[in-house]
Amino acid sequence: MLVTAALVAALTGAVAGVAGARLYEGSEPAPAAALPRVAPDPSAALTGLSATAARVLPSVVSVEAGSLGGSGFVVDDGGHILTNAHVIRGTGEVIVVLSDGRRVSARVIGEDDDEDLAVLEVAFPADLTPATLGRSSDLAVGDQVLAIGSPLGLSGTVTSGIVSALDREVRLGGSRRTAVQTDASINPGNSGGPLVNARGEVVGVNTAIAASRGGGNIGIGFAIPIDRAAPIAERIIRN
């Protein structure tokens, strides 16, 4: 709906521009006022959440599995990508879209349905940038976090929020598990993408949302704590 609204606004703006132009037909256009602008500073370094997003985005991928779509992130130098099991469930071929737009084939090397986690592997690990894993045990309610992924297929989307609750019990996979609750906007397609702290360290795997009857984000999202997800990924890779 956000995309539709943006398109309508653009069309409305174009019509208004044409109407305004007609008012000036047959007369000299008024000179444009030169408003003061700050000169661009090409040497200015990114700071704050901009720097955090720039640090993590190269590690985040889109995952295409048949008719399903989700997100994932690179976890090591061996070409392994962590995502949700429900993103790749029941499909054969998996395509990973890297942050620079390249599309590469991936294979599922293992999954844990109870924890809703899966690990993919691509053949060219040198092309990937591993994310830095943090510790979800260090999180506190109110900490600032970013959710990064491909909601509704819009790759490289970054949303911000806070940790709303810790150890929230929700249904993940086939059973009930505890999760990190956040109000960072999470929508369909964010599944499997990273939840990161202000230092750009992955602290969770975005996996579920509480939605109203019409669907979409209402400010209640859940991520699998990385302290639980990382050992599962390590076990899958090792075996």
% of the chain residues with pLDDT over 70: 80
In a domain, 206, yes or no: yes
Instruction: Lowest mean pLDDT of 13-17, 45-49, 113-117, 205-209, name the range.
Output: 13-17
Beta carbons of 75 and 87 less than 8 angstroms apart: no
CB-based burial label for 213 (10 Å; 0-12, 13-18, 19+)? exposed
Q: Give the end of a domain, one of 80, 107, 130.
A: 130
Residue type for position 23? L
Beta carbons of 222 and 229 less than 8 angstroms apart: no
Of the listed 62, 71, 116, 155, which one is catalytic? 116
pLDDT exceeds cutoff 60 at 7: no
Over residues 185-196, the mean pLDDT reads: 95
Three-class SS of residue 195? strand
- Measured in Å, how far apart are the chain's first and last C-alpha atoms? 43
Over residues 159-171, the mean pLDDT reads: 94
Of the listed 59, 71, 80, 86, which one is catalytic? 86
18-68 per-position pLDDT tens digit: 333 343 455 566 666 778 876 666 656 778 999 999 999 999 999 999 888
| Same structural domain, 137 and 229 | yes
| Same structural domain, 76 and 138 | no
In a domain, 216, yes or no: yes
Segments forming the whole domain that contains residue 106: 50-130
Measure the CA–CA gap between 183 and 175, rounded to whole angstroms.
23
Band of pLDDT at residue 9, cut at 50, 70 and 90: very low
Is the pTM for the entire model greater than 0.75? yes
| Same structural domain, 187 and 151 | yes
Whether 116 is catalytic: yes
Cα angle vertex 214, ends 209, 218, to 5°?
A: 40
Cβ atoms within 10 Å of 53's Cβ, excluding its own: 18
